[in-house]
C-alpha cells in the first residue's frame, strides 16, 4: 500500500486541474500581452482566473497579482513594502516561526538598514498580541505574520492582529500558503493589506502563486520589465498554471475540510497513546484541518521517515522546504523545546484524497517502527538504564 501524507509540502495536481490547463499548452497558447486572437484568449483566461481567485478572498480582481510561488509572494510583499516606505520608517515586525521565505527576506532587509523584531510565540505557537502592541513604534511600517504555520498547523488570530495594525497605521502582510481554501479568509474582515497564496498546496500546479495587494497600498514593483500584472510584476504570465490555480480553488468543499479534520483527530487520538510522544501545536479549531506534528522522544525523525518510506508511507520531518538542513527546526525551537527531542519530530499532513483506510494502515505500521528504533537507540530509557 502506498500512502502520501506529505500534503503540506505539496499536493497531487487534480485531474480536473490538469484537464483545465492542457488547452493552454496545446491550443490557446498565446501570450496574454499579444493582441491577436491567440493572445486575446489567453488574456481572457488570465483575467477570468484572477477574478475567481479574488472572489475566494472577497477581494477585487485588480488586487490579485500573479507570481511564481508563495515564496516569491512573501519576498514581494516584504521587500516591496519596505523599499517603498523607507522614508516613513525602517522597522518591521514578524515572528520567530515564519516560513523561511519571510525570515530570509527580513534578513536581507536588515542588510539594507531595516530593523526587524522577531516576536516570541507560546508553547503552542501563538503570537502574543500584547507583545505585538508593545513592539510597534512610530518607525514600524509592516507586520508580517503567517496565517497557518507550515510545520505545526497553528492558526494565528490574524483578525485581531489586523485590527492592531489598522489602529496603528501599519501595513499587515499574511502568509496564507497553508491556510488558503482550508481556513476562511475575508479581506474585508481581517484588515490585511497583503496576502501570499500558493497553488500547489491545494491540488494546483507548482510554480504559480499570487499576492493580494489591497488597493492604495504603497508597494514597489518586484520585477522590472514589461507592464504585466498592473505594472507590479513584469514577465510573461504562466497562463496554463494560473488557469490551473483558479480551477483548484473550485475543488475543495466544506465536506473536504471536515473529512481532513476527522483524519487529523483520529490520528492524534491514536498517537496520544504512544509513550514518550508529544503533539506540537494546538488541538481542535485552532489547528488547521490537515496537520499533525508529533515528537517521538529518543529517536531521529529522519529514521522514522525512512522506515515509513520503506513501508510505502510518505511523511516529513522538520520543514520540507529545508529538508537538506540538519539543524533543529526553528519553529520547534521557538516553542521552547530542547534540541535533543526536536529531531524526533514527524509531520503528517492530509489532503481531501486521503482515506481512513490509509490512516489505519499508518496506525498499524507506526508503533512497530517506533519500537524498533527505540530498541536500538542509545538515548532510549531502556538503553540508558542498561
Across the beta sheet with 91-95, what order do the strands follow? 64-67, 209-213, 194-198, 171-175, 140-146, 91-95, 115-119
CA dihedral 172, 330, 69, 74 (to 10 degrees): 20
Q: Are residues 108 and 183 in the same domain?
A: yes
Domain that holds residue 167: 15-249
Q: How far apart (Å, rounded) are the C-alpha atoms in residues 297 and 384?
A: 13
Q: Are residues 169 and 34 in the same domain?
A: yes
Describe the crossing of helices 356-376 and 254-271 by its angle, rounded to 10 degrees. 30
Angle at 255 between CA 253 and CA 256, to 5 degrees: 65
Report how far apart the first and last C-alpha atoms of the chain are (Å, whole number): 38
Tell me whether residue 320 is in a domain.
yes
Q: How far apart (Å, rounded) are the C-alpha atoms in residues 151 and 140?
A: 28
What's the domain count of the chain? Answer: 2
Q: Are residues 126 and 263 in the same domain?
A: no
**Per-residue pLDDT in tens (0 to 9) along the chain, 386 residues:** 999 999 999 999 999 999 999 999 999 999 999 999 999 999 999 999 999 999 999 999 999 999 999 999 999 999 999 999 999 999 999 999 999 999 999 999 999 999 999 999 999 999 999 999 999 999 999 999 999 999 999 999 999 999 999 999 999 999 999 999 999 999 999 999 999 999 999 999 999 999 999 999 999 999 999 999 999 999 999 999 999 999 999 999 999 999 999 999 999 999 999 999 999 999 999 999 999 999 999 999 999 999 999 999 999 996 445 455 568 899 999 999 998 899 999 999 999 999 999 999 999 999 999 999 999 977 665 555 44
Q: How far apart (Å, rounded) are the C-alpha atoms in residues 260 and 8?
A: 12
Q: Are residues 256 and 146 in the same domain?
A: no
Q: What is the CATH number of the domain that holds 292?
A: 3.90.1150.10
Three-state SS at 13 = coil
Tell me whether residue 384 is in a domain.
no
Q: Are residues 220 and 357 in the same domain?
A: no
Q: Are residues 117 and 162 in the same domain?
A: yes
Catalytically annotated residues? 321
Q: Are residues 262 and 160 in the same domain?
A: no
Domain edge (last residue) among 229, 249, 269: 249
Domain edge (last residue) among 249, 284, 312: 249
The alpha helices in the chain, defined as continuous H runs, are: 15-21, 23-26, 37-57, 70-84, 100-110, 129-135, 158-167, 187-190, 228-231, 239-249, 254-271, 301-310, 330-334, 339-342, 356-376, 381-385
Cβ neighbors of 175 (< 8 A, separation 6 or more) are 70, 73, 74, 98, 99, 101, 102, 144, 145, 146, 147, 196
Q: Are residues 293 and 232 in the same domain?
A: no
Tell me whether residue 380 is in a domain.
no
Q: Environment class of residue 364 by beta-carbon count within 10 Å: exposed (0-12), middle (13-18) or buried (19+)? A: exposed
Amino acid at each position: 500500500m502506498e500512502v502520501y501524507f506529505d500534503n503540506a509540502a505539496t499536493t497531487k495536481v487534480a485531474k480536473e486541474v490538469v484537464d483545465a490547463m492542457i488547452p493552454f499548452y496545446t491550443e490557446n497558447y498565446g501570450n496574454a500581452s499579444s493582441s491577436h486572437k491567440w493572445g486575446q484568449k489567453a488574456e481572457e483566461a488570465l483575467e477570468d482566473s484572477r477574478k475567481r481567485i479574488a472572489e475566494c478572498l472577497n477581494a477585487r480582481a485588480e488586487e490579485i497579482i500573479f507570481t511564481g510561488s508563495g515564496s516569491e509572494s512573501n519576498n514581494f510583499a516584504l521587500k516591496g513594502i519596505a523599499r517603498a516606505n523607507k522614508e516613513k520608517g525602517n522597522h518591521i515586525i514578524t515572528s520567530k516561526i515564519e516560513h523561511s521565505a519571510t525570515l530570509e527576506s527580513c534578513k536581507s532587509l536588515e542588510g539594507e538598514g531595516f530593523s526587524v523584531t522577531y516576536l516570541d510565540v507560546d508553547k503552542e505557537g501563538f503570537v502574543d498580541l500584547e507583545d505585538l502592541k508593545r513592539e510597534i513604534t512610530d518607525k514600524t511600517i509592516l507586520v508580517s505574520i503567517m496565517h497557518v504555520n507550515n510545520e505545526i498547523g497553528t492558526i494565528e488570530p490574524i483578525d485581531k492582529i489586523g485590527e492592531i495594525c489598522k489602529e496603528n497605521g501599519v501595513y499587515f502582510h499574511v502568509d496564507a500558503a497553508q491556510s488558503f481554501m482550508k481556513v476562511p479568509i475575508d479581506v474585508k474582515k481581517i484588515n490585511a493589506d497583503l496576502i501570499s497564496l500558493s497553488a500547489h498546496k491545494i491540488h494546483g500546479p507548482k510554480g504559480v502563486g499570487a499576492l493580494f495587494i489591497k488597493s492604495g497600498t504603497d508597494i514597489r514593483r518586484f520585477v522590472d520589465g514589461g507592464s504585466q500584472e498592473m505594472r507590479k510584476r513584469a514577465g510573461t504570465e504562466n497562463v496554463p498554471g494560473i488557469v490551473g490555480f483558479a480551477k483548484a480553488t473550485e475543488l475543495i468543499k466544506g465536506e473536504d475540510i471536515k473529512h481532513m479534520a476527522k483524519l487529523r483527530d483520529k490520528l492524534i487520538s491514536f498517537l496520544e497513546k504512544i509513550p514518550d510522544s508529544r503533539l506540537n501545536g494546538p488541538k481542535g479549531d485552532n489547528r488547521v484541518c490537515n496537520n499533525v506534528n508529533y515528537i517521538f522522544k529518543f529517536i531521529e525523525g529522519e529514521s522514522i521517515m525512512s522506515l515509513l518510506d520503506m513501508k510505502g508511507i510518505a511523511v516529513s520531518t522538520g520543514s520540507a522546504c529545508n529538508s537538506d538542513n540538519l539543524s533543529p527546526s526553528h519553529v520547534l525551537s521557538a516553542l521552547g523545546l530542547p534540541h535533543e527531542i526536536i529531531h524526533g519530530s514527524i509531520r503528517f499532513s492530509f489532503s481531501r484524497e486521503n482515506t481512513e483506510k490509509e490512516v489505519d494502515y499508518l496506525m498499524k505500521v507506526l508503533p512497530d517502527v517506533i519500537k524498533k528504533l527505540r530498541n536500538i537507540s542509545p538515548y532510549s530509557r531502556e538503553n540508558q538504564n542498561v
